[in-house]
Amino acid sequence: MKSSYREALRAGIRDAMLRDERVFLMGEDVGSYGGSFAVSLGLLEEFGPQRIRDTPLSESGFVGAGIGAALAGMRPIVEIMTVNFSLLALDQIVNNAASLLHMSGGQFNVPLVIRMTTGAGRQLGAQHSHSLEGWFAHIPGLRILAPATLADARGMLWTALQDPDPVLIFEHGSLYNVAGELDDDAGAVDIDTAAVRRPGADVSLITYGGTLPPVLDAAGQLAADGIDAEVLDLRTLRPLDEAAILASVRRTHRAVVVDEGWRSGSISAEISARITENAFYDLDAPVGRVCSAEVPIPYSKHLELAALPSVDRITAAARQAVSAGG
């Protein structure tokens, strides 16, 4: 069936609510407005205000309420409008949700799912456009998901809700309108493993979320030039599927990591370090990285595009890796 990324997310929420009466959605404008990105459109009419709950404009407050509901046996889905606003709830996410199981000596799980929009490319300015999922991937006690395909948008939520610990799902804003075919029987998907989206033999292009489409476009351009690029979609940023990363590098002997986050202290730095630590002698060239410019994301369209990973920058990095490897 035809679906958009937005519709796939909505189908995942609806399916979870039909399966389990403990599941409810809460966040800013998720009810009568249908969500800031129209993901929850129509769910209030179907499930009512007890299960589709509009919240005050207080991320710390409603994330804390979600933690309390999870501790009390519910299965809350908390929507934060953008990743930038999650910083207002850092104390709740890092000091409470991620830590309570350990601080309680294993007595209290927090089965909470937090969804939020991430990424740039839509001219929304620096306060709405950053990619901070790499920050959260630094935190023990959290699972970090980045669905890039319709199937993952549809299926990751139910699997995440089965996790006894907190899961953060980062939905790239540029993907909401992406449309394609989704299997009629699409359901829950695995959230433990990375996926090879395009096999190849010459260079591994490692990415996730909103940068998957430009990476696939870059792989197509490289193929026209005789360079066979493998595209690995990480899907989960914590815990990383290190085995899949190393297996890809050992097939191609070259790697380029594409990450919309800033280069310094990024998830791309972590991946590069793991490749160097565990597959150094399999490499024929240094690990390359394509990241956003080290500036707050600009509002101006041409400056915003210049700051982000582009197909041209990705292909250039891949060509450099291949030429450096002989």
With beta carbons less than 8 A apart as the criterion, state whether 31 and 52 touch.
Answer: yes
Whether 274 and 160 share a structural domain = no
Q: In the prediction, which pLDDT does 194 show?
A: 98
Same domain, 220 and 100: no
Examine the residue annotation and report whether 130 is marked as an active-site residue of this protein.
no
The active-site residue, picked from 28, 128, 253, 260, is: 128
Residues 199 and 177 grouped into a single domain: no
pLDDT tens for 15-28 read: 999 999 999 999 99
DSSP state for residue 27 in the 8-state scheme? E
Provide the CATH number for the domain around residue 130. Answer: 3.40.50.970
**Quick one: pLDDT at residue 176?**
96
Kind of pairing, strands 229-233 and 195-198?
Answer: antiparallel
Assess whether 122 and 154 both reside in one domain.
yes
User: Which domain-ending residue is among 181, 213, 229?
Assistant: 181
Q: Which residues of the chain have pLDDT under 70?
A: 325-326
Q: Is the pTM of this model over 0.85?
A: yes
Give the tens place of pLDDT for each residue, 23-77: 999 999 999 999 999 999 999 999 999 999 999 999 999 999 999 999 999 999 9
The predicted pLDDT at position 180 comes to 94
How is residue 92 annotated by DSSP?
I
Distance of CA 271 to the CA centre of its chain: 15
Tokens in use for 73?
């046996």
Q: Please report the pLDDT score of residue 186 as a whole number.
A: 86
What is the per-residue pLDDT for 28?
96
Q: Minimal CA–CA distance to 52: which of 61, 60, 42, 43?
A: 43
Single residue among 181, 214, 237 that ends a domain in this structure: 181
CATH for 257 = 3.40.50.920
Residue 24, pLDDT score: 98
Q: Where is the domain boundary, 127, 151, 181?
A: 181
Q: What is the pLDDT of residue 325?
A: 60
* Residue 128 falls in the annotated catalytic set: yes
Q: Which domain holds residue 293?
A: 195-324
How far apart are the C-alpha atoms of 47 and 185, rounded to whole Å?
22
Helix (H/G/I), strand (E/B), else coil: 200: coil
Contact 45, 30 (CB under 8 A): no
* 28, 59, 79, 260: the active-site residue: 59
Q: Give CA torsion, residues 30, 212, 209, 189, to 10 deg.
A: 90
Structural domain includes residue 320: yes
